[in-house]
Amino acid sequence: MVQVKSLVKYFPIRGGILQRTVAQVKAVDDVSFNIKRGETLGLVGESGCGKTTVGRTLLRLIPATSGKVIFEGRDVFSLTGPDLKAIRRDMQIIFQDPYSSLDPRMPIGESVGEGLLVHGMRDSKKRNDIVMEMLKRVGLEDYHARRYPHEFSGGQRQRIGIARALALRPKFIVCDEPVSALDVSIQSQVLNLLKDLQREFGLTYLFIAHNLSVVEHISDRVGVMYLGKMVELTDRETLFRDPLHPYTKALLSAIPIPDPTIKRERIILQGEVPSPINPPSGCRFHPRCPVAIDRCKVDDPPFEELKPGHLVACHVAKQQVEEEKRLMA
């Protein structure tokens, strides 16, 4: 359904009196993946790894530096005018912060219905019917439509954001950290709702989050990003049971498990994520990688399919997989 090919997004840093570009933040650097119809692709990574930028560029909310996004056979970046408007109807987004993504001076019924108006539904009665239906579907009441955002709690606001995204009956929704601002008991309500709605409306999700447990819960396949690159992508079970990239392994072992009886061997990564302005040479993870070899310092590993349906960008993992194959043969 969605094909992302070599997506690149650099943000220029301007300086000096002439405001010339002095450097570039390489937020997303050559990322490719596909999303199948009806599935949820999870995208995880730490802050600054470019996962949010991927979501926004592929919806064309910010222009890409280069690369291609194909949505149902159409090239999203080359569309203009009515074609672009039509495709925007099919692709929606749910934002992280339910506090700043709703207009504080607009009753929430209008916020939810605004997209319908933009897309040409002039009939206010019809619009109102859809708004009411959507509000009910996300667990709110009719009378809530006349209220303003400040009258709602964080969880309720996130429901409003979901209702707004759903009002246009999209096919594809980018969920950008939809539950990270919420308390755990509210988080589970919203996650369950997203799952139910997916089944009901046949939605496809790109689910962006930094919380791996949440991503594991909701996704069919998961992609892991590090410093603007995709480092591993495979189905959920394989990623969590048998990860190949050393970064994924470290990330998984760093998560505190809410069970005091489990004692695990923990991989603690040294140092911090380097700056995307001046990323390390070769493999971007090599300065923190516990298994890096000399080759990693100079040679950027390609993102390739090492096992069926399991894409990894790592020299060491590739050697290991090849070794395994030789032993098997």
Partner 1 sequence: MSSVAPAAAKGARVAGKANAGSDRSDLMLDVQGLKTYFYTEDGVVKAVDGVDLKVKRGETVGIVGESGCGKSVTSLSIMRLVGAPGKIVEGRIIFDGTNLLELPEKEMTQIRGNRISMVFQQPTTCLNPVFKIGDQIAEVLNIHQSLGKEAGWKRAIELLRMVGIPEPQKRVHAYPHEISGGQAQRVMIAMALACAPELLIADEPTTALDVTIQAQILDLMRDLRDKTGTSIMLITHDLGVIAEMCERVVVMYAGQVVEEADVYTLFARPLHPYTQGLIGSIPVLGKVREHLDVIPGTVPNLLNPPPGCRFEPRCQACQGAARERCKVETPPLREVEPNHWVRCWMYEK
Least distance (Å) between residue 273 CB and partner 1: 8
Least distance (Å) between residue 292 CB and partner 1: 16
β-strands 66-71, 172-176: how paired? unpaired
- Nearer Cβ to partner 1 (2/214): 214
Cα 321 to Cα 307: distance, rounded to the nearest angstrom: 8
Amino acid (one-letter) located at 221: R
| 205-223 as b/e: b if 16+ CB within 10 A | bbbbbbebebbbbbbbbbb
Least distance (Å) between residue 308 CB and partner 1: 22
149 contacts 107 by C-beta, under 8 angstroms: no
Least distance (Å) between residue 276 CB and partner 1: 14
Least distance (Å) between residue 106 CB and partner 1: 23
75, 18, 38, 53: which is closest to 208 by C-alpha?
53
State the residues that interact with partner 1 by CB under 8 A.
46-47, 153, 155-156, 183-189, 191-192, 195, 210, 212-214, 216-217, 236, 240-241, 250-262, 266, 268-269, 272-273
β-strands 66-71, 74-75: how paired? antiparallel
Least distance (Å) between residue 140 CB and partner 1: 13
CA 277 to chain centre: 22
34, 58, 91, 90: which is closest to 221 by C-alpha?
34
6 contacts 32 by C-beta, under 8 angstroms: yes
- Nearer Cβ to partner 1 (93/209): 209
Q: C-alpha angle with apex 164: 163 to 168, nearest 5 degrees?
A: 100
How many residues does the structure list for the chain? 329
- Nearer Cβ to partner 1 (82/258): 258
- Nearer Cβ to partner 1 (121/269): 269
- Nearer Cβ to partner 1 (71/226): 226
- Nearer Cβ to partner 1 (21/153): 153
